[in-house]
Structure 1
Amino acid sequence: MNLPKKLAETAAIHQEKPAYLFMDKETSYAELNASVSMFASSLEKMGVQKGDHIALIVGNTPHYVIGLYGALRLGATVIPVNPIYTPDEMGYILNNGDVKLVITLDKLLPLFEKMEKALPKVETIVYCETGETVNEDAYPQIKTKMKPFTKCLGMGDPRYQGPELNEEDVAMILYTSGTTGKPKGAMLTHRNIYANASDVAQYLKYDKSDKVIAALPMFHVFCLTVALNGPLISGATVVIVPKFSPAEIFRLVETYKVTVFSGVPTMYNFLLQYENGKPEAFESLRVCISGGASMPVALLKGFEQKFNVMVSEGYGLSEASPVTAFNPLDRPRKPGSIGTDVMGIKNKVVNELGDEVAPGEVGELVVQGPNVMKGYYKMPEETEHTIREGWLYTGDLAKMDEEGYFYIVDRKKDLILVGGYNVYPREVEEVLYDHKDVIECAVFGVPDPERGEAVRAFVVSKNPELKEEDLQIFLGEHLAKYKLPSSIEFLEELPKNTTGKILRRALKQKVLQES
């Protein structure tokens, strides 16, 4: 089974049922499936063949859904790209990924006009009309490559079924954010992405009665699996949110009786802090899902108490399509834990030799299952280092308790060594979040001539009167002395990526540049 085939089957059963809701307008499964076939057929007419690489540089819109499933139905390999990337970031992915056709927003056409010579492999640019009519004459360098999305859709065949797809064919290449060096392209097969969407859908008990918010960026694998593919293969309705805002989330959930919300911890923080957020607006929610970063326990408990809805924290990474663990819905949930194995997937914690450690001991989290990537695109050495004897090495430090619940301690690369002692940034952050005046925080290590490394902290506070000494005293009551920050700096906001994940490394680079 694969995603486009499953969509066709679902559309045959639930023809008139809404597949998605966008800007308060519903689109049925029959309409979506026809559009997907038409777009796939159109791509073929434009010279795209099975196995060719297509970049999808679009935000949360129907263009994304139709473009994704249309390319997959044709058998092309899809490379989702963040629309706000710089020309250098975007150019690297398009060239490294051997992209033949780009689906992008009309507002990004000026960027492609400037980049034309830097993208020799791109033959066609399909632009999605989001505003006024595009004057193609304004783009002489790329005019012959440009084709409007609606025109492409109109020239397609709604009966088109596409070629036979092999489950081991590469369906997507997801470029990791690249904490060090250039981003790496994780190759996910049709089997990888379908298996994970199916396992997640079963684990979260998705069915046709569900309405699932897609507020996370669709180009991010968390949203792709949990809020788009999982719901669509289950006959649920996806509520597409172009841009996250607390006011809009409250409106949509209350108006359309949404049943599932998924987000990163920062989103939950915004919803909890939103002054006009009434608990009764979230009465229809049966579960909330958190991932992308570790959720502070204080935030989790505060959100659940205010809105009376359970937050199930999970874990995933691009290389695993992405989900490997979730807190179960039918058994006790443990705050601070990423939960237990998702069905069909095995997690374990190992030492430096690859041997499994005892419960309670910290080691590296490794993963095995049908969701694990084929490898990194054009990077065999990186693939060998990351996938060993069938296990994906995540780079995350974790521990498992006696009942099989896993806890992320921190990123292996983020571990701070203070005078030979291990300090995990998340442990310090958890204590900071327990302070009533702290909204957000980030902790990391910086070089220190005496102790090797020192702990630094940045905090966003709701109380302008809060001082560093107050927080140091508070931390000193809960942490050993070597874990205390050498300094705490207050900011109005912390840097985040497009999914809302706090960027420790951006703050660390800032500190290192200033020192």
Structure 2
Amino acid sequence: MSEHATPAVLRGPDLEGRDDYASVMEVFHAAIERFADKPAFTCMGRTLDYRELDRLSADFAAWLQHEAGLVPGDRIAIQLPNLLQFPVAVFGALRAGLVVVNTNPLYTEREMAHQFKDSGARAIVILANMAAKLENVLDQTRIERVVVTEIADLHPFPKRPLINAAVKYLKKMVPAYRLPGATRLRDALARGARLEHREVGRDRDDMAALQYTGGTTGRAKGTMLTHGNLVANMLQARQAIGPGLAEGAETIVAPLPVYHIYTFTVNCLFMMETGNHSVLIPNPRDLEGFVKTLRSVRFTGFVGLNTLFNALCQREDFRRLDFSALHLTISGGMALTSAVAQRWEEVTGCPVAEGYGLTETSPIVSFNPIDDIRLGTIGKPMGDTEVKVVDLDGNDLPLGETGELCVRGPQVMKGYWNREEDTAASLDAEGWFRTGDVAVFDEDGYIRIVDRKKDMILVSGFNVYPNEIEDVVASHPGVVESAAVGVPDEESGEAIKLFVVASDPDLDAETLRAWCKKELTGYKVPRHVEFRDELPKTNVGKVLRRQLRDEAQGEAKEEGEAS
């Protein structure tokens, strides 16, 4: 850093409406009052309007209070994919004053046991498809109340039993399980309807969700998100994105998991507060079924991420859809490549506005202004949000210098659940959270994420960021997706290995290296290239670089020992 350079702190605008709501439930009740007859959530052809969501969540809250015996502050795990049962269970739990522990439906038994035990959850709402796993780990947890639901439980007769039977007996997607004492969600709702629920007051400092981090770098940690954190981020989203939306008139496609903080905040809070309609996609990996759903919906917005945009744009049936109503596409969850963003706009006619966030920030930190999108950036800080970059010693850096991104604002978590040391290492006494991402600030206040700090590759003393390489590779017409990692190298310390999924069967390593040489400095050109049919991903669609790096480094070690 220059001796006379001034450290830079970027600040977002003043947050509008910061005192409008004290809790998530105040947001919920205001939306019900204003938009009662508007559609709230649709899934597999069935729609819940706001009035019905109010009734069903109240029924569930009453059952939790009177029959399940849960008290405010108790944790309840919710392990559901994108189904109508999710908002009913979540808002029912919050109305009873409980803390929601969102749980990935694809978790293994080991991951389930860790999260349930670590959170101290006393109850769970789980899809029957995963109930056999729960049976095997239940005795390792404090869970006393189990609520089981089948995929079509909120659909009317005769569609409900027909779908449930097809899933169970024809597709054989529900392994046999035995959970004595478990309650079926439909029974809980029916019994709750005969009881009177008590609205539980919550304030900004009360915990609303225990949101676990992805765990790709070790055991997942519980992030304590308060009502104040979630409400602030909802208001920040309203201020940054809301001016481009019409209240009560938008239909937003929600293919990413609702248990993930990205969709949880955007679709369950921001879109609800504005009275808009979310179309839940239970299995976005079924691209044929996904496109079929889109064909039947006049959607105006789409919330996704890079890998999904890329996969859809490769499909002819998607390209034939009617995009005339689409005017908002939001990207988050992982880096958006310029090539994919351009391809999406060419196909749909709608530009992609990229934002950035983390579980620990509820999640949105920054967002591209809708009227001034800058590809390759994550936009500007949200309302009442400060960001800065620091060097390895924690010193603040000026504009134009690269360092670790730090964030301070009302959306930053309370801390990690029962992990004081981890909290202290990430969150300082002044409220600055260290993100672990490497960033640089442009002169006009836009932020660029260079890469994850832990993913940086050191080649002959030079820092190489995988995102830059992957962006260049993605622009090759024969490439579907790629991932760059570092592997040990005697000469340069580390060398770059590129994993590629190609659409062109004739594409080879030398052709790709030549493509990279036109755009990248020599030390950034991949030395090793491996073609694969697919890349490992999280349930949200992020490529698991760490898994690929471990595999590549293990192979390099074996080759070294053999020689």
Name 2:70's counterpart in structure 1. Answer: 48
Report the alpha carbon displacement of residue 280 of structure 1 after superposing the two structures with TM. 5.3
Name 2:117's counterpart in structure 1. Answer: 95
Which region of structure 1 is more displaced relative to structure 2, 201-210 or 286-295? 201-210
Question: Between the two proteins, what is the percent identity of the paired residues?
Answer: 35
Q: Report whether the alignment pairs 1:213 with 2:235.
A: no
Does the C-alpha gap of structure 1 residues 445 and 215 become closer, same or farther in structure 2, counting only changes over 3 Å?
A: same
Q: Report whether the alignment pairs 1:148 with 2:184.
A: yes
Which letter maps to 1:24? G
Structure 2 residue runs without a partner (length 5+): 1-20, 152-163, 169-175, 557-563
In 2, the alpha carbon distance for the partners of 1:199 and 1:310 equals: 21
Secondary structure at 2:230's aligned position in 1? Answer: helix
Equivalent residues in 2 for 1:93-492 (5 A)? 93-119=115-141, 121-130=142-151, 131-132=164-165, 142-144=179-181, 146-157=182-193, 160-205=197-242, 206=245, 207-244=247-284, 245-278=286-319, 281-330=322-371, 332-388=372-428, 389-492=430-533
In 2, the alpha carbon distance for the partners of 1:398 and 1:210 equals: 34
Count of residue correspondences: 510
Which letter maps to 1:52? D
In 2, the alpha carbon distance for the partners of 1:63 and 1:478 equals: 48
Report the alpha carbon displacement of residue 73 of structure 1 after superposing the two structures with TM. 1.1
Secondary structure at 1:474's aligned position in 2? Answer: helix
CA RMSD of aligned residues (A): 1.9
Report the alpha carbon displacement of residue 238 of structure 1 after superposing the two structures with TM. 1.2
In 2, the alpha carbon distance for the partners of 1:359 and 1:308 equals: 34
Name 2:154's counterpart in structure 1. Answer: none
Name 1:34's counterpart in structure 2. Answer: 55
Report the alpha carbon displacement of residue 359 of structure 1 after superposing the two structures with TM. 1.8
Which letter maps to 1:457? L
Report the alpha carbon displacement of residue 298 of structure 1 after superposing the two structures with TM. 1.1
In 1, the alpha carbon distance for the partners of 2:196 and 2:27 equals: 16
In 2, the alpha carbon distance for the partners of 1:418 and 1:92 equals: 37
Report Cα offsets for 1:174-197 as digits up to 9, x if no partner: 111123321111100011111112
Report the alpha carbon displacement of residue 161 of structure 1 after superposing the two structures with TM. 4.3
Report Cα offsets for 1:254-311 as digits up to 9, x if no partner: 5332111011101100111011223651111111011111111111112112221010
Name 2:82's counterpart in structure 1. Answer: 60
Name 2:16's counterpart in structure 1. Answer: none
Name 1:22's counterpart in structure 2. Answer: 43
Report Cα offsets for 1:219-258 as digits up to 9, x if no partner: 1111111222210111111111111144444444453321
In 2, the alpha carbon distance for the partners of 1:354 and 1:404 equals: 21
Secondary structure at 1:361's aligned position in 2? Answer: coil
Does the C-alpha gap of structure 1 residues 266 and 128 become closer, same or farther in structure 2, counting only changes over 3 Å?
A: same
Secondary structure at 1:394's aligned position in 2? Answer: strand
Which region of structure 1 is more displaced relative to structure 2, 52-61 or 109-118? 109-118
In 1, the alpha carbon distance for the partners of 2:200 and 2:507 equals: 63
Report Cα offsets for 1:356-391 as digits up to 9, x if no partner: 322221111111111100000000011011011211
Report Cα offsets for 1:315-345 as digits up to 9, x if no partner: 0100000011111013x21111111111222
Which letter maps to 1:292? G
Which letter maps to 1:217? P
Q: Report if the CA contact (8 A) 1:252-1:258 is conserved.
A: no
Report the alpha carbon displacement of residue 129 of structure 1 after superposing the two structures with TM. 2.3
Which letter maps to 1:488? V
Scaled by the length of structure 2, what TM-score is found? 0.87
Secondary structure at 1:281's aligned position in 2? Answer: coil
Scaled by the length of structure 1, what TM-score is found? 0.95
Which letter maps to 2:315? Y
Which letter maps to 1:324? V
Which region of structure 1 is more displaced relative to structure 2, 174-183 or 91-100? 174-183
In 2, the alpha carbon distance for the partners of 1:3 and 1:401 equals: 35
Q: Report if the CA contact (8 A) 1:250-1:281 is conserved.
A: no
Q: Report if the CA contact (8 A) 1:215-1:241 is conserved.
A: yes
Report the alpha carbon displacement of residue 449 of structure 1 after superposing the two structures with TM. 2.4
In 1, the alpha carbon distance for the partners of 2:395 and 2:233 equals: 26
Secondary structure at 2:122's aligned position in 1? Answer: strand
Which letter maps to 1:281? D
Secondary structure at 2:309's aligned position in 1? Answer: helix
Name 2:555's counterpart in structure 1. Answer: 514
Which letter maps to 1:223? T
In 1, the alpha carbon distance for the partners of 2:399 and 2:424 equals: 28
Q: Report if the CA contact (8 A) 2:313-2:319 is conserved.
A: no
Q: Report if the CA contact (8 A) 2:42-2:84 is conserved.
A: no
Does the C-alpha gap of structure 1 residues 511 and 42 become closer, same or farther in structure 2, counting only changes over 3 Å?
A: same
Report the alpha carbon displacement of residue 99 of structure 1 after superposing the two structures with TM. 0.9
Q: Which has the higher contact order (CA 8 A, sep 6+)?
A: 2
Q: Report if the CA contact (8 A) 1:254-1:284 is conserved.
A: no
Structure 1 residue runs without a partner (length 5+): none
Report the alpha carbon displacement of residue 202 of structure 1 after superposing the two structures with TM. 2.9
In 2, the alpha carbon distance for the partners of 1:306 and 1:112 equals: 43
In 2, the alpha carbon distance for the partners of 1:27 and 1:116 equals: 32
In 2, the alpha carbon distance for the partners of 1:511 and 1:484 equals: 17
In 2, the alpha carbon distance for the partners of 1:304 and 1:253 equals: 17
Q: Report if the CA contact (8 A) 1:439-1:462 is conserved.
A: yes
Report Cα offsets for 1:109-129 as digits up to 9, x if no partner: 22222223222x110110012
Which region of structure 1 is more displaced relative to structure 2, 242-251 or 414-423? 242-251
Name 1:503's counterpart in structure 2. Answer: 544
In 2, the alpha carbon distance for the partners of 1:94 and 1:74 equals: 20
Secondary structure at 1:143's aligned position in 2? Answer: coil
In 2, the alpha carbon distance for the partners of 1:416 and 1:280 equals: 41
Report the alpha carbon displacement of residue 139 of structure 1 after superposing the two structures with TM. 5.2
Report Cα offsets for 1:392-417 as digits up to 9, x if no partner: 11000001101110010000011111
Secondary structure at 1:282's aligned position in 2? Answer: coil
